Amino acid sequence: MNPEQLRRYLEFYRDMGVKTVYRREKPVVQAPAGEFDTLERIRADIGDCTRCRLHQGRHKLVFGVGNEQARLVFVGEGPGADEDAQGIPFVGRAGQLLTQMIEGTAKKEGIPLLRADVYICNVVKCRPPENRTPEPDEMEVCSQFLARQLEVIRPKAICALGGTAARALLGRKDGVTRLRGNWFRWRDIPVMVTYHPSYLLRPYNQNAKREAWEDLKKALHFVYD
């Protein structure tokens, strides 16, 4: 409404005997501009990232995959060669094991759940050279994006896969063996720590495999019961 229209509008009500007008209150629940986040917006903000040295060797940035409304989010360490080639997390051997673990445990426990129902991402979005552990500064730069992903999805629980994910989410330096099978928190969201699937692929870690299935069972029942 332009000022002239407003003047005539107010004159109309004045002529009808209305002495006071009030501006309508703003809605109580507002999404202030800039605070409404989505996975799409986060991906756009990351862009063709050069914020840390990991961009130098990457082929594809690996953002995350799965259901934006997932009740369970898995966080790994960083992309490997297959993920770097495809731009999708956990698609190599470790990824196949993770898929088997999710779907196999769910089926055994009578929970109708497929990999596509959860959300999967990593602490760092670009592959570290030779699959080395991400450096603290690389994790720090990328952590803002992981935090935004978790805040957008707001899952009922997070599963931290391995020591790097546990360190990034919980700020704890303890080894996975000490942390696994227990609940912690990222902000107010419960976090279950378990072994990284790559660790479970090593033939001498069969006992850990059993423990990882137990951890996952616990997480699935917590989320889906």
Binding site for ligand URA (CB under 6 A): 76-80, 83, 89-90, 92, 94-95, 122, 198
Minimum Å gap between C-beta 80 and ligand URA is 4
Q: Is the CB of 94 or the CB of 179 nearer to ligand URA?
A: 94
Q: Is the CB of 113 or the CB of 160 nearer to ligand URA?
A: 160
Minimum Å gap between C-beta 107 and ligand URA is 23
Q: Is the CB of 155 or the CB of 162 nearer to ligand URA?
A: 162
DSSP letters spanning 158-181: EEEESHHHHHHHH---S-HHHHTT
Minimum Å gap between C-beta 28 and ligand URA is 42
Give the CB-nearest residue to ligand URA: 76
Terminal CA-CA length for the chain:
54
Closest CA to 208 of 198, 222, 223: 198
Q: Is the CB of 126 or the CB of 141 nearer to ligand URA?
A: 126
The Cβ of residue 48 has, within 10 Å, a number of other Cβ atoms equal to 6
DSSP letters spanning 15-69: HTT-----PPPPPSS---TT----HHHHHHHH-S--SSGGGGG-SS----EE-TT
Minimum Å gap between C-beta 75 and ligand URA is 9
